[in-house]
Amino acid sequence: WQIVLISTSVLAVAGGLSLVLLVGDGPYRKQGARFNWMAIPEIFSSKDFRAAALGYFGHMWELYTVWTFIPLLLQTYIEFSGASLTIPFWTFMIIGSGAVACVVGGYLSLNKGSAPVAFGMLLTSCICCLVSPLLFYLPVAAFLLIMFVWGFAVVGDSAQFSAIVAKTAIPLYKGTALTVVNGIGFTITVFSIQFFSLLLEDWPAQYLFMILAIGPVLGLLFFKRLLGRF
């Protein structure tokens, strides 16, 4: 894993330097507005924006924690079933299925709208969280099928939430709104991963993934008011 972290970090730095040194400003570049702390109460005064943001927060409670602990879930399944699975390979494939989901979700949103796509994906991943204790008793093929559905749905709503947050933000403070929502979202992610890790010390792993349904359930409740409008 050290090689993976080092190589991806080097590539990230190289990409950043390439943008700075090799890519100039385009003809339509505008001076960016400054972050405005005082605008935050006004930004969240919009009911539609709050609904979109809270849906996104629920999504962020689940997403990265699922990704982080997919190897644990696979290992637990192996211990229960005695199946022979290559954990790194299947972890990569399950997470990678989310790339397809983002493309599919984008095309679906062109016809159905972003809100139904985001709601459907979040509902699907929520159901996967709730039924997760049952996965360990399934045959290998059924287990992997549901894991691919979960990997597909857990991130397929991400771009749609971002799009709706941007659409519902007050235009004057759109940059500030997106910065705040993303900052809160990733803070929730850190807390979720740490909370899950702490619970691992005392709780059986096969039941822990149900806790991740908390975010999607709350997100769905707040987000549903946007259905049919975005």
What's the CATH number where 151 sits?
Answer: 1.20.1250.20
The predicted pLDDT at position 100 comes to 93
Q: Is residue 62 part of a domain?
A: yes
Q: Which amino acid is it at 226?
A: L
Mark residue 53 as left, alpha or beta (left: phi above 0; alpha: psi -120 to 50; beta: remaining). alpha
Would you say the pTM of this structure is higher than 0.75? yes
Q: Is residue 202 part of a domain?
A: yes
Q: Is residue 198 part of a domain?
A: yes
Asked if residue 49 lies in contact with residue 176, where contact means CB atoms within 8 angstroms, the answer is: no
Q: Is residue 58 part of a domain?
A: yes
Note down the domain range covering 108.
Answer: 46-226
The predicted pLDDT at position 32 comes to 63
pLDDT in tens, the chain (230 residues): 789 899 999 999 999 999 889 887 777 777 666 777 788 888 898 999 999 999 999 999 999 999 999 999 999 999 988 888 999 999 999 999 999 999 999 999 998 899 999 999 999 999 999 999 999 999 999 999 999 999 999 999 999 999 999 999 988 888 889 999 999 999 999 999 999 999 998 889 889 999 999 999 999 999 999 987 88
- For the CA atoms of 21, 24, 25, 31, what is the dihedral angle to 10 degrees? 20
**230: which residues sit within 8 A by CB, 6+ positions away?**
52, 113, 114, 115, 164, 167, 168
Q: Is residue 18 part of a domain?
A: no
